[in-house]
Chains A and B, each alone.
Chain A
Amino acid sequence: MSVKGNPNRDKVLAVASSGGHWVQLRRVTPAFADSEVVYVTVIDSYRSQVPDNKFYSVHDATRWNKLGLMILAFNLIWIFIKEKPGVVISTGAAPGYFSLLLGKWFGARTIWIDSMANIEDLSMSGARVGRYADLWLTQWPHLAKGEGPHYAGGVL
């Protein structure tokens, strides 16, 4: 699928789990000031923090819960079919990992910013997501590698 053919080339799907993942995602979305940003997270009441944006909440699952992950995957597939984003960005965790994978399937450009909480090692999702990330970033210089993830500053 060609990115050029996507009329939503600059439409951003911004995905994060709750808590720190979400707080960090919110600090990078000012980079998308000129684009439509659609938020996806796991707590429905976060909706009130982004009143001017489209917002979806999905099933909260970790990688330890297979059924939960399947529900999450179906939630996300539905969102991708409806929104057809041109760009997908995530700070983690499981919902972000699946979103980058789906992003590649749906021909979107994908960005992963590994959570700042992962100082000693990449997150479990972040270490595995490289093949689906067009821009694969860590927030710690000592975790950056030539083949990725790269370091380009942090959310703080």
Chain B
Amino acid sequence: MIFATVGSQEPFDRLIRAVDEWAGSRGRFDVLAQIGASSFRPKNIEFTKFLEPSEFNRVIRAASVVIAHAGMGSIISALEIGKPIVVMPRRGFLRETRNDHQLATAERFGSRGRVIVADNQKDFAQKLDYALTLTAMDPINPEASPRLIATIRAFMDGTLAELDPPVSVGSPESAAAAKAASPLVSYMTRKA
């Protein structure tokens, strides 16, 4: 089966319509969509407003492909179980979300090849057809990067001596400024 989700917050009619039309044109009846607050009511697919986490987990594991908005929750959930995911970024000018941050997310993850990006409805049908030819991938590690985990542990233990200077250091002056403003110093001098 195929599982589509618009995430936990805002409606996303454009995506649900695209999924519905695709299902109609391909004669696929094994599609379930979590449509949230979307007002569009699909004709060709099953849909529900919200899935409890246990249901969500069961359905996403049963799916051969996941379809979603380009939100981190949906993308990470698919990657954690190694499912191909087709994302359609919400657009700010269509008032699908507050700005175009999902475009940036889609670009970053699309370029890594683990996430398939569909920009519009036509594109969507093709991309979904392609995604269905893919097999499951290796699930990603369920934890944050070792570096982030180690940083938080060191913070908890009170042994976090310093953080890396910013990566975008351009000049010796900015490097010196970055060093001077080590996190603890900058925190203590920051007006609380």
Contact = CB atoms under 8 A, between A and B. Distances in A.
Contact of B155 (A22, A49, A111, A142): A111
A23 interface: yes
A31 B152 contact: yes
B151 A152 contact: yes
Residue among B102, B105, B164, B166 having the largest count of chain A Cβ atoms under 10 Å: B166
A146 B177 contact: yes
A5 to B, nearest CB: 15
Interface of A: 10, 18-24, 27-28, 30-32, 35, 43, 45-46, 48-49, 87, 89, 104, 109, 111, 113, 115-120, 130-137, 141-142, 144-148, 150-156
5 contacts: A19-B9, A28-B149, A28-B152, A144-B166, A153-B151
A130 B186 CA distance: 10
Contact of B167 (A32, A35, A144, A156): A144
B101 interface: yes
Given A120-B104, A148-B187, 12 more contacts: A19-B8, A23-B77, A28-B144, A113-B148, A116-B105, A119-B105, A132-B192, A134-B155, A144-B164, A153-B145, A153-B147, A155-B145
A135 B160 contact: yes
Given A104-B192, A156-B79, A117 B53 contact: no
B183 A148 contact: yes
Interface of B: 7-9, 52-54, 71-74, 76-77, 79, 101-102, 104-105, 108, 140, 142-149, 151-153, 155-156, 160, 163-168, 174, 177-181, 183, 186-187, 190-192
B4 to A, nearest CB: 15
A30 B144 contact: yes
The A contact surface, by secondary structure, is mixed
A61 to B, nearest CB: 12
A142 B8 contact: no
Contacts, number: 153
Contact of B73 (A20, A111, A148): A20
A86 to B, nearest CB: 9
Nearest to A155: B144
Query: 9 closest Cβ contacts across the A-B interface?
Result: A146-B178, A153-B147, A20-B72, A20-B73, A141-B167, A153-B148, A153-B145, A19-B73, A19-B8
Contact of B164 (A10, A43, A150): A150
Contacts of B104: 119-120
A17 B46 CA distance: 27
